[in-house]
Structure 1
Amino acid sequence: MTSGSGPRPDKNHREKNFPIASWIIHPRHRALILAFYRFVRTADDIADHATLAADEKLRYLDLLEAELLGKGETRAEAVRLRTALAGRGMPPCHPLDLLTAFRMDVTKQRYENWDEVIHYCRYSAMPVGRFVLDVHGESTSTWPASDVLCAGLQVNNHLQDCGMDFRNLNRVYIPRDALVASGASVEELGGAKSSLRMLQCLHALAVKTEALLNEGAALVPQVKDFRLGLEVSAILSFADKIVSMLKVRDPLSERVHLSPLELLVHGAGAMANEAARRALGRGTRSKTMVGA
């Protein structure tokens, strides 16, 4: 692949629930985070490409990995990230974990239970949080809370896009045992509206996801970097609002994404509250923790 060849995106980029070199992040970190994001987007576009055969997708992902590890100079996204990581003395472990998830997207289209979904999140979401924390020099002691929060963000995304993922990619992250327990079928995800059985299944999964987000809220006071603390607080606020919609709405027929105005309002409010909390030295907001 050259920087101008290989698979190109043929779909709209889905919203991703993690920080992407936003204005909140300190300028000294933005170039590295943006290089990471562009690498991840390239791998995502490969895994989700509508016309590439599975073996071709895997070949392109292998090439990305090889170039990230220094075995090639043709794919600009891999070379930029490799160079940016080397400039910080950081290993490529987190993007390599993400490539594992993208290979799973190519080869695994169904998940049997909640544990399998969380295992997928170990590679698809948790490395993102760990990477951003490492970029900011945060302690690895923040990883457990970050892992839980990132898993919650990922499952939120799965529930939001469950219909689109099934129709466009024949990919289902809704656990098979959850569908069976509610009496719903995979094929119902292709409908314009959820049946009562499917709604019961999706709402129950949203409750489990809310428990992850509640537990992941512990990350906010653990983050030492002021700007990153504001960013995490805003992301958590977005996720809380989204999961509150997923608990009562039908993602097949109703809006379960935040509008630009809602993003602005919830983000600004969360950051203002977090800035005040840090200024006054108060503890983090209280959230009821429910077992996942």
Structure 2
Amino acid sequence: MTATADLRSGKSAGDENFPVASHLIAARHRPAILAFYEFARTADDIADHETLPAGEKLDRLEALRATLVGEADAEPVAVALRQVLAERGLPATHALDLLVAFRQDAETARYSTWNALMGYCRYSAAPVGRMVLEIHGEPAETWAASDALCAALQVINHLQDCGEDYRRLNRVYLPFAELKDAGAHVTALAAPRASPALRAAIVALAQRTAELLRRSRPLADQVRDHRLRLEIAVIQRLAEDLTQRLIVRDPLAERVHHHKLELIGLAGSALLRAAWPVSRATPRSGTNAESPA
């Protein structure tokens, strides 16, 4: 059998749409986050492999689970994460939750409603934010806003890659209900340019994503770790910009991803906003207590 490492796509943390353990994060926390990322990236590459049969995908994902919980030592990335979690006294819950989503990817190619997609995001996206928060010792009270942000990031990725996912994997994350409401059919995803109906469905989903981002916006101010707060502020800003792009751009025919200079500019503006003292100053009596938009 081919080694799991040989199934990797070659994608690394630096290739992701959003920062993963950037240098904004304290150095003592980055190795743990990257160990979690490598585990997640390996599982994702298994689930998204174009030629592996579904049964073999499930077997390999089970090998990751068994290694993570100490029932085996077959998968090096799972051994590495298991050791990191043990050293830091952290649970394996979030990594195990991710495997629920990747098993679903191996078996499920369609989603009927927005709620069904959010159910998938509960396992494919929320565990990532929760793990990062746990690594930093942040309280579980931050999870609600984090879950909203992570779900938004997941849907943004789905919308950006909707044509590729359909053509390469015959996988459609755009819920059938939204497609039906717009009068679109999944086969429109194979076209080089989105039809007006498909564009309407994508715009509707991007608008729902914008609502998730409104719910996640308090997160940066909820966390106690200053450097994590800055990273979250950058991710929030990038996500907001990509969501607006998806409202006005066709992901089948136009670039939605940020160029490097765009990333730098957006990150810089987010850091300035996050560091601006007025945004978290204690309001004086009689003044508006809301932070600037």
Q: TM-score, normalised by structure 1?
A: 0.93
The separation in 2 between residues aligned to 1:186 and 1:11, in whole angstroms, is: 29
The separation in 1 between residues aligned to 2:290 and 2:25, in whole angstroms, is: 21
Distance 1:152 1:286, change over 3 A: farther
- Tell me the alpha carbon deviations over residues 246-285 of structure 1, each in whole angstroms, 9 at most, x when there is no partner: 0111110011111111111111210122112388636775
Q: What residue in structure 2 maps to residue 208 of structure 1? A: 208
The count of corresponding residues between Structure 1 and Structure 2 is 286
- The CA deviation at 1:74 is 2.9
Matched residue of 2:85: which SS? helix
- Percent identity, aligned pairs only, is 48
Matched residue of 1:27: which SS? coil
Q: What residue in structure 1 maps to residue 238 of structure 2? A: 238
Q: Is 1:178 aligned with 2:178?
A: yes
Range that drifts further, 263-272 or 184-193: 263-272
- The answer for unaligned runs of 5 or more in structure 2 is 283-288
* 8 Å CA contact retained: 1:111, 1:173: yes
Letter in 1 for 2:185: S
Matched residue of 2:173: which SS? coil
Q: What residue in structure 2 maps to residue 197 of structure 1? A: 197
The separation in 1 between residues aligned to 2:194 and 2:62, in whole angstroms, is: 38
- The CA deviation at 1:191 is 0.7
Q: Is 1:262 aligned with 2:258?
A: no
Q: Is 1:134 aligned with 2:111?
A: no
Q: Is 1:79 aligned with 2:97?
A: no
Matched residue of 2:192: which SS? coil
Q: What residue in structure 2 maps to residue 9 of structure 1? A: 8
Matched residue of 1:163: which SS? helix
* 8 Å CA contact retained: 1:17, 1:235: no
- Tell me the alpha carbon deviations over residues 61-87 of structure 1, each in whole angstroms, 9 at most, x when there is no partner: 000000000122231100000000000
- Tell me the alpha carbon deviations over residues 154-197 of structure 1, each in whole angstroms, 9 at most, x when there is no partner: 11111111001101111000000111111111000011000111
Q: What residue in structure 2 maps to residue 290 of structure 1? A: none
- Tell me the alpha carbon deviations over residues 93-139 of structure 1, each in whole angstroms, 9 at most, x when there is no partner: 00000000000111110000000000000000000010001100111
- The CA deviation at 1:6 is 5.6
Q: What residue in structure 1 maps to residue 34 of structure 2? A: 34
